[in-house]
Structure 1
Amino acid sequence: MTVITDDMRDIIASAMLSYAATTCPDGTPNLSPKGSVRAYDDDHLIFMDIASPNTIANLKANPSIEINSVDVVKRRGYRFKGTAEILQPGHEAYEWLNFWLLDLNGPGYPAHQTVLVRVDKVSAVESPAYTFGSAEEEELSETWYSRHEAAHNAATQGSAEGVWKKQ
Protein backbone atom coordinates (compact mmCIF):
# COMPACT_ATOMS: atom_id res chain seq x y z
CA MET A 1 0.00 0.00 0.00
CA THR A 2 1.35 3.40 -0.98
CA VAL A 3 1.36 5.81 1.94
CA ILE A 4 3.02 8.76 0.19
CA THR A 5 1.09 9.90 -2.88
CA ASP A 6 2.16 12.12 -5.77
CA ASP A 7 0.13 14.98 -4.27
CA MET A 8 2.04 14.61 -0.99
CA ARG A 9 5.33 14.68 -2.88
CA ASP A 10 4.21 17.83 -4.71
CA ILE A 11 3.21 19.56 -1.45
CA ILE A 12 6.54 18.68 0.20
CA ALA A 13 8.40 20.10 -2.81
CA SER A 14 6.31 23.28 -3.05
CA ALA A 15 6.39 23.90 0.71
CA MET A 16 10.21 24.00 0.55
CA LEU A 17 10.31 24.06 4.35
CA SER A 18 8.79 21.41 6.60
CA TYR A 19 8.71 21.14 10.39
CA ALA A 20 9.78 18.13 12.42
CA ALA A 21 8.31 17.63 15.88
CA THR A 22 10.13 15.45 18.41
CA THR A 23 9.85 15.00 22.16
CA CYS A 24 12.50 16.32 24.57
CA PRO A 25 13.60 14.17 27.53
CA ASP A 26 11.45 16.31 29.87
CA GLY A 27 8.37 15.61 27.73
CA THR A 28 8.19 19.05 26.11
CA PRO A 29 7.93 19.38 22.33
CA ASN A 30 10.77 20.32 20.04
CA LEU A 31 9.78 21.81 16.68
CA SER A 32 12.52 22.28 14.12
CA PRO A 33 12.39 23.60 10.53
CA LYS A 34 13.80 21.29 7.87
CA GLY A 35 14.59 22.49 4.37
CA SER A 36 15.77 19.11 3.12
CA VAL A 37 12.63 16.96 3.57
CA ARG A 38 11.87 14.73 0.59
CA ALA A 39 9.88 11.62 -0.08
CA TYR A 40 12.45 8.83 -0.29
CA ASP A 41 10.02 6.17 -1.48
CA ASP A 42 6.32 5.35 -1.03
CA ASP A 43 6.72 4.69 2.71
CA HIS A 44 9.53 6.97 3.89
CA LEU A 45 10.41 10.64 4.24
CA ILE A 46 14.00 11.71 4.64
CA PHE A 47 15.86 14.82 5.81
CA MET A 48 19.45 15.76 6.45
CA ASP A 49 20.92 16.63 9.82
CA ILE A 50 22.64 19.88 8.90
CA ALA A 51 22.23 21.76 12.19
CA SER A 52 19.87 19.64 14.27
CA PRO A 53 21.57 18.50 17.49
CA ASN A 54 18.35 18.68 19.56
CA THR A 55 16.30 16.80 16.96
CA ILE A 56 18.92 14.05 16.71
CA ALA A 57 19.31 13.74 20.50
CA ASN A 58 15.54 13.53 20.92
CA LEU A 59 15.21 10.88 18.20
CA LYS A 60 17.96 8.77 19.77
CA ALA A 61 15.94 8.68 22.99
CA ASN A 62 12.52 8.40 21.32
CA PRO A 63 12.28 7.74 17.57
CA SER A 64 8.68 8.99 17.29
CA ILE A 65 8.38 11.97 14.97
CA GLU A 66 5.83 14.06 13.14
CA ILE A 67 6.69 16.07 10.04
CA ASN A 68 4.37 18.80 8.77
CA SER A 69 4.62 20.06 5.21
CA VAL A 70 2.24 22.87 4.28
CA ASP A 71 2.21 24.85 1.05
CA VAL A 72 1.36 28.31 2.41
CA VAL A 73 0.09 29.54 -0.95
CA LYS A 74 -2.23 26.58 -1.54
CA ARG A 75 -3.08 26.66 2.19
CA ARG A 76 -2.98 22.90 2.51
CA GLY A 77 -0.54 20.17 3.35
CA TYR A 78 0.03 16.97 5.29
CA ARG A 79 1.02 15.67 8.72
CA PHE A 80 3.26 12.61 8.59
CA LYS A 81 3.60 10.56 11.79
CA GLY A 82 6.21 7.87 11.98
CA THR A 83 9.36 6.35 13.36
CA ALA A 84 12.82 7.73 12.65
CA GLU A 85 16.05 5.93 11.95
CA ILE A 86 19.35 7.83 11.95
CA LEU A 87 21.63 6.87 9.05
CA GLN A 88 25.32 7.67 8.67
CA PRO A 89 27.32 8.75 5.61
CA GLY A 90 27.82 5.82 3.27
CA HIS A 91 24.28 4.52 3.65
CA GLU A 92 22.42 4.50 0.31
CA ALA A 93 19.66 6.83 1.59
CA TYR A 94 22.21 9.29 3.00
CA GLU A 95 24.11 9.41 -0.28
CA TRP A 96 20.86 9.84 -2.27
CA LEU A 97 19.81 12.89 -0.24
CA ASN A 98 23.32 14.32 -0.03
CA PHE A 99 23.63 14.16 -3.84
CA TRP A 100 20.34 16.09 -4.18
CA LEU A 101 21.47 18.73 -1.66
CA LEU A 102 24.86 19.17 -3.34
CA ASP A 103 23.17 19.49 -6.73
CA LEU A 104 20.72 22.04 -5.31
CA ASN A 105 23.03 24.12 -3.10
CA GLY A 106 26.58 23.26 -4.07
CA PRO A 107 29.23 22.29 -1.52
CA GLY A 108 29.47 23.87 1.89
CA TYR A 109 26.60 22.43 3.91
CA PRO A 110 27.67 20.13 6.73
CA ALA A 111 25.64 16.98 6.12
CA HIS A 112 26.24 15.06 9.34
CA GLN A 113 23.70 12.25 9.06
CA THR A 114 20.31 11.52 7.56
CA VAL A 115 17.00 10.85 9.27
CA LEU A 116 14.84 8.28 7.48
CA VAL A 117 11.23 8.29 8.68
CA ARG A 118 8.94 5.32 8.16
CA VAL A 119 5.53 6.96 7.70
CA ASP A 120 2.86 5.17 9.72
CA LYS A 121 0.02 7.68 9.47
CA VAL A 122 -0.81 10.64 7.25
CA SER A 123 -3.53 13.25 7.73
CA ALA A 124 -4.43 16.28 5.67
CA VAL A 125 -3.95 19.86 6.84
CA GLU A 126 -6.32 22.30 5.17
CA SER A 127 -7.30 25.90 5.68
CA PRO A 128 -10.81 26.36 7.07
CA ALA A 129 -11.47 28.21 3.81
CA TYR A 130 -11.77 24.81 2.13
CA THR A 131 -14.18 23.49 4.75
CA PHE A 132 -16.31 26.53 5.53
CA GLY A 133 -15.77 28.72 2.50
CA SER A 134 -16.67 28.44 -1.11
CA ALA A 135 -13.12 29.04 -2.32
CA GLU A 136 -11.34 26.63 -4.61
CA GLU A 137 -7.60 25.96 -4.47
CA GLU A 138 -6.83 28.14 -7.50
CA GLU A 139 -8.67 31.13 -6.00
CA LEU A 140 -7.04 30.69 -2.59
CA SER A 141 -3.63 30.30 -4.19
CA GLU A 142 -4.00 33.53 -6.16
CA THR A 143 -5.12 35.46 -3.08
CA TRP A 144 -2.39 34.11 -0.81
CA TYR A 145 0.33 34.46 -3.40
CA SER A 146 -0.61 38.14 -3.79
CA ARG A 147 -0.53 38.63 -0.01
CA HIS A 148 2.85 36.94 0.32
CA GLU A 149 4.28 38.95 -2.55
CA ALA A 150 2.97 42.19 -1.01
CA ALA A 151 4.37 41.24 2.41
CA HIS A 152 7.76 40.43 0.89
CA ASN A 153 7.84 43.71 -1.01
CA ALA A 154 6.80 45.67 2.07
CA ALA A 155 9.38 43.90 4.23
CA THR A 156 12.17 44.85 1.85
CA GLN A 157 11.01 48.47 2.07
CA GLY A 158 10.40 48.66 5.81
CA SER A 159 7.47 46.91 7.45
CA ALA A 160 5.03 44.29 6.23
CA GLU A 161 2.62 44.79 9.16
CA GLY A 162 0.07 46.79 7.17
CA VAL A 163 -0.16 44.17 4.42
CA TRP A 164 -2.25 41.86 6.62
CA LYS A 165 -4.78 44.50 7.70
CA LYS A 166 -8.18 44.28 6.09
CA GLN A 167 -8.52 46.88 3.37
Structure 2
Amino acid sequence: MPVIDQDMRDIVERAWLAFAATVCDDGSPNLSPKGSLRVYDDDHLAFMDIGSPATIANLRRDPRIEINVIDVFSRRGYRFTGSVSFAEPGAPEYEWLNRWLLDLNGPGYPANEVVLVKVERARPILSPAYTSGGADQDALTTAWEQRYRTTLAEVPLGPPPGTGAAG
Protein backbone atom coordinates (compact mmCIF):
# COMPACT_ATOMS: atom_id res chain seq x y z
CA MET A 1 0.00 0.00 0.00
CA PRO A 2 1.42 3.44 -0.92
CA VAL A 3 2.60 5.68 1.90
CA ILE A 4 2.15 8.96 0.00
CA ASP A 5 -1.47 9.68 -0.91
CA GLN A 6 -2.96 12.38 -3.14
CA ASP A 7 -3.49 14.86 -0.30
CA MET A 8 0.17 14.57 0.66
CA ARG A 9 1.15 15.14 -2.99
CA ASP A 10 -1.07 18.24 -3.11
CA ILE A 11 0.46 19.68 0.08
CA VAL A 12 4.03 19.16 -1.22
CA GLU A 13 3.08 20.81 -4.53
CA ARG A 14 1.52 23.86 -2.82
CA ALA A 15 4.06 24.34 -0.05
CA TRP A 16 7.15 25.25 -2.11
CA LEU A 17 9.29 25.06 1.03
CA ALA A 18 9.97 22.15 3.37
CA PHE A 19 12.31 21.64 6.31
CA ALA A 20 14.57 18.60 6.60
CA ALA A 21 15.78 17.52 10.03
CA THR A 22 18.95 15.47 10.42
CA VAL A 23 21.29 14.67 13.31
CA CYS A 24 24.82 16.13 13.51
CA ASP A 25 27.75 13.97 14.58
CA ASP A 26 27.64 15.52 18.08
CA GLY A 27 23.95 14.61 18.41
CA SER A 28 22.67 18.14 17.90
CA PRO A 29 19.84 18.80 15.45
CA ASN A 30 20.28 20.22 11.96
CA LEU A 31 17.28 21.82 10.26
CA SER A 32 17.65 22.77 6.61
CA PRO A 33 15.12 24.43 4.28
CA LYS A 34 14.41 22.60 1.04
CA GLY A 35 12.85 24.39 -1.91
CA SER A 36 13.27 21.46 -4.29
CA LEU A 37 11.23 18.81 -2.46
CA ARG A 38 9.01 16.81 -4.82
CA VAL A 39 7.07 13.57 -4.61
CA TYR A 40 8.97 11.01 -6.68
CA ASP A 41 6.53 8.10 -6.37
CA ASP A 42 4.07 6.57 -3.90
CA ASP A 43 6.82 5.80 -1.39
CA HIS A 44 9.57 8.36 -2.03
CA LEU A 45 10.22 12.06 -1.75
CA ALA A 46 13.22 13.65 -3.43
CA PHE A 47 15.15 16.87 -3.06
CA MET A 48 18.27 18.20 -4.74
CA ASP A 49 21.48 18.87 -2.86
CA ILE A 50 21.96 22.42 -4.06
CA GLY A 51 24.03 23.80 -1.19
CA SER A 52 23.58 21.78 2.00
CA PRO A 53 26.95 20.27 2.95
CA ALA A 54 26.02 19.75 6.63
CA THR A 55 22.75 18.01 5.75
CA ILE A 56 24.47 15.75 3.23
CA ALA A 57 27.32 14.90 5.65
CA ASN A 58 24.78 14.07 8.35
CA LEU A 59 22.78 11.84 6.00
CA ARG A 60 25.88 9.98 4.78
CA ARG A 61 26.70 9.17 8.40
CA ASP A 62 23.11 8.56 9.55
CA PRO A 63 20.48 8.19 6.79
CA ARG A 64 17.50 8.96 9.03
CA ILE A 65 15.51 12.08 8.18
CA GLU A 66 12.28 13.85 8.97
CA ILE A 67 10.79 16.36 6.56
CA ASN A 68 8.04 18.79 7.54
CA VAL A 69 5.91 20.34 4.83
CA ILE A 70 3.23 22.93 5.62
CA ASP A 71 0.77 24.64 3.32
CA VAL A 72 0.78 28.02 5.08
CA PHE A 73 -2.61 28.98 3.69
CA SER A 74 -4.57 25.87 4.65
CA ARG A 75 -2.55 25.69 7.90
CA ARG A 76 -1.85 21.98 7.60
CA GLY A 77 0.79 19.64 6.34
CA TYR A 78 2.71 16.43 6.96
CA ARG A 79 5.72 15.03 8.80
CA PHE A 80 7.51 12.48 6.63
CA THR A 81 9.96 10.18 8.40
CA GLY A 82 12.29 7.82 6.60
CA SER A 83 15.78 7.05 5.40
CA VAL A 84 17.72 8.24 2.39
CA SER A 85 19.78 7.08 -0.53
CA PHE A 86 21.54 9.25 -3.10
CA ALA A 87 21.24 9.54 -6.88
CA GLU A 88 24.11 10.99 -8.90
CA PRO A 89 23.93 12.74 -12.28
CA GLY A 90 22.78 10.24 -14.89
CA ALA A 91 20.48 8.35 -12.52
CA PRO A 92 16.77 8.56 -13.43
CA GLU A 93 15.87 10.31 -10.15
CA TYR A 94 18.55 12.92 -10.69
CA GLU A 95 17.62 13.60 -14.31
CA TRP A 96 13.91 13.89 -13.41
CA LEU A 97 14.44 16.41 -10.59
CA ASN A 98 17.19 18.34 -12.37
CA ARG A 99 14.93 18.78 -15.43
CA TRP A 100 12.22 20.26 -13.16
CA LEU A 101 14.72 22.63 -11.48
CA LEU A 102 16.11 23.81 -14.82
CA ASP A 103 12.60 24.38 -16.20
CA LEU A 104 11.76 26.38 -13.09
CA ASN A 105 15.00 28.33 -12.59
CA GLY A 106 16.76 28.35 -15.94
CA PRO A 107 20.06 26.91 -17.15
CA GLY A 108 23.06 26.69 -14.88
CA TYR A 109 21.09 26.05 -11.69
CA PRO A 110 23.33 24.14 -9.24
CA ALA A 111 22.49 20.48 -8.70
CA ASN A 112 24.94 18.16 -6.96
CA GLU A 113 22.93 15.00 -6.31
CA VAL A 114 19.42 13.90 -5.42
CA VAL A 115 18.51 12.83 -1.92
CA LEU A 116 15.85 10.14 -2.29
CA VAL A 117 13.78 9.66 0.87
CA LYS A 118 12.09 6.29 1.41
CA VAL A 119 9.08 7.41 3.44
CA GLU A 120 8.44 4.97 6.25
CA ARG A 121 5.88 7.04 8.13
CA ALA A 122 3.70 10.06 7.31
CA ARG A 123 1.78 11.94 9.99
CA PRO A 124 -0.50 14.94 9.59
CA ILE A 125 0.28 18.37 11.02
CA LEU A 126 -2.81 20.42 11.81
CA SER A 127 -3.22 23.94 13.11
CA PRO A 128 -5.05 24.24 16.43
CA ALA A 129 -7.71 26.00 14.36
CA TYR A 130 -8.70 22.50 13.21
CA THR A 131 -8.03 20.50 16.35
CA SER A 132 -9.52 22.96 18.85
CA GLY A 133 -11.50 25.43 16.79
CA GLY A 134 -13.38 23.24 14.32
CA ALA A 135 -12.18 25.33 11.37
CA ASP A 136 -13.43 24.80 7.83
CA GLN A 137 -10.44 24.34 5.50
CA ASP A 138 -11.79 26.48 2.65
CA ALA A 139 -12.68 29.36 4.98
CA LEU A 140 -9.34 29.12 6.78
CA THR A 141 -7.41 29.04 3.51
CA THR A 142 -9.25 32.09 2.19
CA ALA A 143 -8.68 33.98 5.44
CA TRP A 144 -4.95 33.20 5.53
CA GLU A 145 -4.44 34.03 1.85
CA GLN A 146 -6.09 37.41 2.52
CA ARG A 147 -4.06 37.87 5.69
CA TYR A 148 -0.77 37.31 3.83
CA ARG A 149 -1.73 39.70 1.03
CA THR A 150 -2.78 42.38 3.53
CA THR A 151 0.22 41.93 5.81
CA LEU A 152 2.77 41.94 3.00
CA ALA A 153 1.21 44.90 1.22
CA GLU A 154 0.13 47.17 4.06
CA VAL A 155 1.82 46.42 7.36
CA PRO A 156 5.52 47.32 7.67
CA LEU A 157 7.40 44.88 9.86
CA GLY A 158 9.68 47.38 11.64
CA PRO A 159 12.22 46.55 14.32
CA PRO A 160 11.50 44.10 17.14
CA PRO A 161 9.97 45.67 20.25
CA GLY A 162 12.46 46.84 22.84
CA THR A 163 15.45 46.91 20.48
CA GLY A 164 15.62 50.69 20.36
CA ALA A 165 16.07 50.49 16.57
CA ALA A 166 14.35 53.20 14.58
CA GLY A 167 11.90 52.15 11.86
TM-score, structure 2 normalization: 0.91
Q: Which residue matches 1:119?
A: 119
Please state if 1:106 is matched with 2:106.
Answer: yes
- Deviation (angstroms), 1:134: 2.6
What residue identity is the alignment partner of 2:114?
T
1:25 is matched by which residue type in structure 2?
A: D
CA distance in 1, matches of 2:33, 2:151: 21
Offset of residue 151 of structure 1: 2.0
**Deviation sequence 1:132-154 (CA, Å, 0-9, x none):** 11320011111111111122113
Q: What's the counterpart of residue 159 of structure 1?
A: 157
Q: Bigger CA drift: 131-140 or 118-127?
A: 131-140
CA distance in 2, matches of 1:114, 1:121: 20
Provide the alpha-carbon RMSD of the alignment: 1.3
Give the Cα–Cα distance (whole angstroms) in 1 for the partners of residues 63 and 149 of structure 2: 38
Deviation sequence 1:90-122 (CA, Å, 0-9, x none): 111000100111111111221011100000000
The equivalent of 1:42 in structure 2 is 42
CA distance in 2, matches of 1:99, 1:65: 25
Q: Provide TM-score, normalisation by structure 1.
A: 0.91
- Structure with a larger share of its residues in helix: 1
Equivalences, count: 159
Distance 2:22 2:151 in 1: 31
Match of 1:4 in 2: 4
SS at match of 1:133: coil
Q: Report what 2:95 is aligned to.
A: 95
SS at match of 2:149: helix
Residue correspondence of structure 1 range 25-104 to structure 2 within 5 A: 25-104=25-104
Unpaired runs of 5+ residues, structure 1, are: 162-167
Unaligned runs of 5+ in 2: 160-167
* Percentage of identical aligned residues: 56
Whether the 8 Å CA contact 1:22–1:66 is kept in 2: the answer is yes
Q: Return the offset for 1:160.
A: 6.7
2:83 is paired with a residue of what secondary structure?
A: strand
Letter in 2 for 1:114: V
How far apart, CA to CA, are the structure 2 residues paired with 1:82 and 1:91?
A: 21
Q: Is the 8 A contact 1:151 1:160 kept in 2?
A: no
Distance 1:160 1:71, change over 3 A: farther
Are the structure 2 counterparts of residues 160 and 76 from structure 1 closer, same or farther at C-alpha, using a change threshold of 3 Å? Answer: farther
Matched, 1:149 2:149: yes
2:136 paired with 1:139? no
The residue aligned with 1:19 is 19
